Amino acid sequence: MERKIFHGKIKPVDIAQALIGEFNQGNLRAQTLGQSDKMVVQIGTTPASISGGKTAITVTIQKWEDGVMVELGQQAWLGVAASLGTSALAALRNPFSLLGRLDDIAQDIESLQIGERIWQVIAQTAKAAGVSTELSERLKRVTCEYCGTANPIGEPSCMACGAPLGKAQPNTCPHCGFVTQPGDKKCRNCNQTLA
Ligand SMILES: [Zn+2]
Ligand SMILES: [Zn+2]
């Protein structure tokens, strides 16, 4: 399961609508479940699709501190891989038999790329809404442990009381947007090494 966090003014419905707009067409059907704070978008091949194996994937979008968290579930193959396997075997035995399966193979390759396309649509939607995996302005504040004043990130000491702020500077993982803790060497969400 892959998840990313987008910080800023964006709602789960914004991403859900973008995914429906992109994927509820052609050989695919997309539908949303749930309401405002937690929405699930299911994307899958239509029962009527004439080529390729069946596949389905679930995207969970929920309200998160100052933004949304998006989780991409495991893609269920429901025959996509099997269909590719049969095609490959058939081609070995009789090259001409492959001709009738070209549509299936093209469709399966398209299906294999759904996860990537989903992240692309989400990234575009986030960009259009002006949000990113970087910290939002509000989270880009360090609260002074001593007096509770919110200070901008990077300030060495509290604007109000002068107490040192050095060890409390929050940041996010550049890969997935998860808020990291000072001293973290790897992201606790995606396990990428942090600079
Ligand atoms: Zn202070
Ligand atoms: Zn990460």
- Assign 70 a pLDDT band (cuts: 50, 70, 90): very high
Question: For residue 105, is pLDDT > 70?
Answer: no
Question: For residue 106, is pLDDT > 80?
Answer: no
Q: Long-range contacts made by residues 55-60, C-beta under 8 angstroms, separation at least 24?
A: 55/79, 55/80, 55/111, 55/114, 57/114, 57/115, 57/118, 59/15, 59/19, 59/118
Question: In angstroms, what is the span from residue 147 Cα to ligand 1's centroid?
Answer: 4
Q: Which ligand is nearest to the CA of 180?
A: 2
pLDDT score for 40: 95
Question: For residue 97, is pLDDT > 80?
Answer: no
pLDDT score for 145: 78
Are 159 and 149 spatial neighbours (Cβ–Cβ below 8 Å)?
yes
Are 51 and 44 spatial neighbours (Cβ–Cβ below 8 Å)?
no
Q: How far apart are CA 80 and CA 184, in angstroms?
A: 39
Question: For residue 96, is pLDDT > 80?
Answer: no
In whole numbers, what is the pLDDT of the chain averaged over residues?
81
- Assign 91 a pLDDT band (cuts: 50, 70, 90): low
> Nearest to residue 4, comparing CAs of 176, 188, 187?
176
Residue range 3-20: average pLDDT? 93
Residue range 1-16: average pLDDT? 90
Q: Which two tokens stand for residue 74?
A: 């495991």
Domains defined for the chain, CATH in brackets? 2-128 (3.30.530)
> Nearest to residue 12, comparing CAs of 70, 65, 66, 57?
70
152-176 pLDDT, tens digit each: 877 888 888 888 887 666 778 888 9
Question: In angstroms, what is the span from residue 150 Cα to ligand 1's centroid?
Answer: 8
Question: In angstroms, what is the span from residue 1 Cα to ligand 2's centroid?
Answer: 13
Question: In angstroms, what is the span from residue 157 Cα to ligand 1's centroid?
Answer: 8
Question: For residue 137, is pLDDT > 70?
Answer: no
Q: Which ligand is nearest to the CA of 192?
A: 2
Question: In angstroms, what is the span from residue 181 Cα to ligand 1's centroid?
Answer: 20
Q: Is 97 helix (H, G, I), strand (E, B) or coil?
A: helix
pLDDT score for 157: 85
Interaxial angle between packed helices 12-23 and 114-128, expressed in degrees from 0 to 180 and rounded to the nearest 10: 130
Per-chain residues with Cβ under 5 A from ion ligand 2: 173, 175-176, 178, 187, 189-190
1 exposure class (CB count in 10 Å sphere: 0-12, 13-18, 19+): exposed
Q: How many residues does the chain have?
A: 195
Q: How far apart are CA 84 and CA 80, in angstroms?
A: 6
Question: In angstroms, what is the span from residue 12 Cα to ligand 2's centroid?
Answer: 20
Are 3 and 71 spatial neighbours (Cβ–Cβ below 8 Å)?
yes
Q: Give the position of tokens 């004043």.
A: 149
Q: Which ligand is nearest to the CA of 4?
A: 2
Q: How far apart are CA 101 and CA 83, in angstroms?
A: 9
